[in-house]
Homo-oligomer: A and B are copies of this chain.
């Protein structure tokens, strides 16, 4: 079964727009942070990603906005890998206010597992997603 990541976020003053609700790119900031946290939970922490010169650029991202969070609202991002390729993978995120069982947004990110040839800024080449991550996050056996 797919392992689920959970990331807590309380909507700050600066995450909101003049309508008093969440400025929509904030959802993408949260989804990005949630994916890095999910990968960290599978053993690839920020420090290890840096040391092994790995990164995971985006191919596509999309989000449906169902209900608006307001300044101060406690939110949760629930994330799991919903599609496993050899190098590419898709993370599906649900952002909700748990206490009220209210779903705010549902999004997806498609990414590619990559390594820098010579550190940040140098060209990237795709690599197979590490077996350790597949196992930790419940990829189906091949």
**Tier of interface size on chain A:** 35 or more
> Given the complex of chains A and B, what is the CA–CA distance between A19 and B68 in angstroms?
17
Tell me, yes or no, whether A84 is within 8 Å of chain B by CB. no
Residues of B within 8 A of A36 (CB): 12-13
Task: Judge whether B72 and A120 touch: CB under 8 Å.
Answer: no
Each complex incorporates copies of this chain amounting to: 4
Which of A17, A58, A70, A72 has the largest number of chain B CB atoms within 10 A? A17
Question: Does B65 lie within 8 Å of A24, measured CB to CB?
Answer: no
Which A residues are closer than 8 A to B by beta carbons?
Answer: 12-14, 16-21, 23-26, 28-29, 32-33, 36, 40, 45-47, 50, 55, 57-65, 68, 70-72, 116, 119-121
